[in-house]
Chains A and B, each alone.
Chain A
Amino acid sequence: MNNFNLARYSRKNGTLFLLYSVLAVYSLVTLAPFMWMLITSFKEPSDVFKIPPSFVPSMLFSDTPFANYATVWTERSFVSFFLNSTWVAFMASIGQVFTTSLAGYAFARLELPGKNVLFAIVLATAFVPTEVTIMPEFLMMRWIGWIDTFASLIVPSFLVGAFGTFMLREYFASLPSDYADAAYVDGASPFQIFYKVYLPLAQPALVSVFVIAFINNWNELLRPLLFLNSPEKFTVPLGLMSFVNQYEASWTLLMAGSVISTVPLILIYMLTQRYILQGFVGGGVKG
């Protein structure tokens, strides 16, 4: 009896060891590039081209530990890239949550002749690659006069969000109908049932849609590259790329800029991560 338990115990620990090694090795792979980015951003420019590379963030031990960051932020106008990106990504994502929550709810819980055909069209057009639509989109923006304005980046994301529509439709459909029936008996209008009953219940999914839209808009490079001309309108990714082309070798500054552009996304993720998994799994299956 004793022997059997011991065997089982060590086998179990062997598995645990294996599982933890897989996790540890892969987390090193995911985190190492960030560490290297961070270390480089705190190096003296002269330390960058050492062979073998030094892992010491040398500038941290000088009188001006944040000198690279200060240079990037003020002299290289990162402050304006940062504000532009924040505004664009925030507006585009709020808009997307607004539009997709209405559409997702209507597709899931309201009656409308032909709504399934409409849903199929929305989904099918989402499978059409951006490369197909980007040229006409560019011509359209030029025709409306939105070239070099933030509207060219915000409005399309505001009105089109197939992934969010799909996700919220599934989420609203997974919630029980009893609430709607009860509210209907109490004399609530269809809008009130949506706004007062179902919208609060969908909070995890709404947060997920917002976060994903924010990340996508923050990272968008193609549209800013094509639609924006003046450097004072540049978003962070565009600013970083214009930077590479001008100062290819200044890796310390480039990595400082990269750290700055990464921080807001990590912060948002940390604040909302408990919703994300829940948002994906759906409301019906929890608990």
Chain B
Amino acid sequence: MQNRRRIVITALVFLLPTIVGTLIFRLIPIIWSFALSFYEWKVFDKAVFVGWKNYAHIFTSSISLDVFVNSAIFSVIYVAGSLALALVLAVVLNNGLRSSAFFRGAFFVPYITATVAIALAWRWIFSTRFGVLNNLLIALGVENPPAWLADPAWALPAVALVSIWKDVGFYMILLLAGLQTIDPTLYQAARVDGAGPIARFRKVTVPLLTRSLFFVLIIALVRSTQTFEITYALTNGGPNRASTTLAFFVYQKAFVDFEVGYAAALSYIMCVILGFLTLVSFYFRRKWVHE
């Protein structure tokens, strides 16, 4: 009994920093922000309680509706693109090729590199007249290559592509970790039963990888809603809000326009959407994830 008490005390001491940190830097700000969302507050003025007005304003303004659409497009491109590419790369790398350590490193480098630095390199690559990409396209015979970051139709996909390029190596590593837990004898057994490479992929790899795939899906979903650095360095949300997603819009409202209450309401809507999508994913988890 003496020992049990000691363990409980040790556990409490061990958890103390986490409890304090979670309380001060997560729980209190989360509640505070919710309260702020019911106020009209322009930082330098007095805060005025306005009830649901901020929320009502968000759902009726055409600007914020554009931003919602941008966010949805961005998330779809990002999540689908990252998952598909990461799966292909992980499966190819898992074949025990001699140089797979080199390729694994090469693919992971964008993830571990300095975000703003590499986003600026991409901005330079995408540059309309002097950029290496458009000059390459012209050399390949493309007549009028797009202006990329300066073109409202291309700015958002370009930001999404750079984000996928940056993160896919991380998802690939997570999937590789999942692949390595699959018992090799299962493949041998499948082969003995006459299963070809595609059948082995579909009947052994995919079912046993669903846990990792689900994990990657959730992380990618969360990350897709929070893009900031790449947008800031590539387009600053432009041209004319064409690449502004929700997270970036919250930043602009709070710290550029100083509409704190409005920004807080926006951030809460973002949070609810994300929570809803996560719940939906968990609900459908049973249908396709094998335990």
Binding site for B on A (CB under 8 A): 15-16, 19-20, 22-23, 26-27, 29-31, 33-34, 36-37, 40, 48-53, 98-100, 102-103, 105-107, 110-113, 115, 118, 121-122, 125-137, 139-140, 156, 158-160, 165, 189-191, 194, 211, 215, 218-219, 221-222, 226, 236-237, 240-241, 244, 251, 254-255, 257-259, 261-262, 265-266, 268-270, 273, 276-277, 280-281, 285
Contacts and interface: CB of A to CB of B under 8 A. Distances in A.
Contact of B250 (A99, A125, A131): A131
B107 A15 contact: no
B181 A281 contact: yes
B109 A111 contact: no
B44 interface: no
B77 interface: no
8 contacts: A23-B93, A36-B121, A99-B18, A102-B13, A121-B22, A128-B26, A134-B29, A269-B109
A27 B25 CA distance: 39
Contacts of B89: 22, 26
Contacts of B11: 106, 110-112, 115
A89 to B, nearest CB: 11
Contact of B114 (A112, A126, A156, A258): A258
Contacts of A26: 89, 107
Interface residues of B, number: 94
B214 interface: no
Contacts of A137: 25, 29
Nearest to A226: B255
B220 interface: no
Given A26-B107, A262-B114, A103 B14 contact: yes
Contact of A277 (B30, B112, B176, B225): B176
B129 A51 contact: yes
Nearest to A251: B124
Contacts of A103: 14-15, 17-18
Contacts of B288: none
Given A30-B106, A131-B247, A241-B233, A219 B116 contact: yes
B125 interface: yes
A127 B274 contact: yes
Given A23-B92, A110-B10, A130-B226, A29 B165 contact: yes
A37 B267 contact: no
Contact of B33 (A111, A136, A194, A258): A136
Given A110-B14, A112-B8, A285-B181, A222 B118 contact: no
Nearest to A113: B8
B271 interface: yes
Specify which of B4, B26, B124, B254 lies most central, judged by the most chain A CB atoms within 10 Å of its CB: B26
A43 to B, nearest CB: 11
Contacts of B108: 269, 273, 276
Contacts of A30: 106-107, 109-110, 165, 169
A53 B107 contact: no
A241 B254 contact: no
Interface string B74-112: 000000000000001100110101010001111111111
A268 B108 CA distance: 13
B139 to A, nearest CB: 7
A8 to B, nearest CB: 13
A204 to B, nearest CB: 12
Contacts of B271: 128-129, 132
B206 interface: no
A159 B250 CA distance: 25
Nearest to B130: A49
B12 to A, nearest CB: 7
Closest A-B pairs by Cβ, 4 of them: A159-B21, A258-B117, A136-B29, A133-B29
Given A130-B226, A131-B251, A277-B177, A102 B113 contact: no
Contacts of B105: 269-270, 273
B114 A236 contact: yes
A113 B4 CA distance: 11
A19 B130 contact: no
User: Which of B13, B117, B169: most chain A Cβ within 10 A?
Assistant: B117
B205 interface: no
Interface in B111-158: 111-118, 120-122, 124-125, 129-132, 135, 138-139
A137 B255 CA distance: 13
Contacts of B92: 19, 22-23
Contacts of B251: 131, 134, 222
A129 B118 contact: no
B287 interface: no
A158 B16 CA distance: 13
Contacts of B169: 30
A37 B122 CA distance: 9
A52 B139 CA distance: 9
A33 B174 contact: no
B195 interface: no
